[in-house]
Amino acid sequence: MPVESWATSQTTRRSMQSNKSRDTGPELALRRELHRRGLRYRVGLAPLAGVRRTVDVAFPRLKIAVLVDGCFWHGCDQHHRLPKSHSDYWQAKLERNMARDRSTTQLLEQSGWRVIRLWEHEKIQDMADLVQRAVLEAAPKRATGPASRQPPARSADPSPQPSHRSARTSSDR
Ligand SMILES: [Zn+2]
């Protein structure tokens, strides 16, 4: 039996065992880090009505979708190695996965979502930075500005209510 480098790596084996990308370590770690930074999100949301595509981490009000792609299942060009045995099967499967990824991104974008795709091999801090920046950009501006204060209240839900623009002018002091 040919020993493939990808199969010996423990992370790959783990991601192959749990087909659900939602349960992979990197995604959990990212969620934990985002939570630590005061961001609140939905997990495993299927934002498009009638479409069975789920988003790993979603900010529904801001329409930001974050997907953490496993290197093996989603064809990371740095780490994906096609298994030598049954390579036709794996190749076809990979192509299906990648086509599905593209269409998921497309469907979401057509519905006005911003899609952030991350590879599971990326550093958690880098992933979290990217997501946090997108959230800050999308969130309604606060009077103090995003960076001038501590991250949004720890325990309380930041609930960035989309400020009603018409009402804003009248209540403008
Ligand atoms: Zn990778």
For residue 155, is it within any domain?
no
pLDDT above 80: residue 165: no
Portion of the chain with pLDDT greater than 70, in percent: 68
**Surface-to-core class of residue 113, CB atoms within 10 Å of its CB (0-12 exposed, 13-18 middle, 19+ buried):** buried
Q: How many angstroms separate the alpha carbon of residue 122 from the centre of ligand 1?
A: 8
pLDDT digits (tens, 9 = 90+) for 139-149: 877 655 455 44
Predicted TM-score (pTM) above 0.85? no
For residue 157, is it within any domain?
no
Q: What is the pLDDT of residue 8?
A: 46
For residue 156, is it within any domain?
no
Read off the CATH number of the domain in which 72 is found.
3.40.960.10
pLDDT above 70: residue 42: yes
Domain count across the chain: 1
For residue 151, is it within any domain?
no
For residue 134, is it within any domain?
yes
Contacts of residue 35, Cβ cutoff 8 Å, sequence gap at least 6? none
For residue 153, is it within any domain?
no
pLDDT digits (tens, 9 = 90+) for 62-93: 999 999 999 999 999 999 889 999 999 999 99
Q: How many angstroms separate the alpha carbon of residue 168 from the centre of ligand 1?
A: 46
Q: What is the pLDDT of residue 111?
A: 96
For residue 147, is it within any domain?
no
Token pair 């839900």 is found at 157
* Domain residue limits at 83: 5-142+162-170
For residue 107, is it within any domain?
yes
Q: Which of 17-21, 98-102, 137-141 has the highest mean pLDDT?
A: 98-102
Q: How many angstroms separate the alpha carbon of residue 120 from the centre of ligand 1?
A: 6
| CA–CA distance, 85 with 143 (Å, rounded to integer) | 60
Which of 67, 99, 71 has its CA nearest to residue 14?
71
- Torsion sign, CA atoms 82, 79, 14, 127: negative
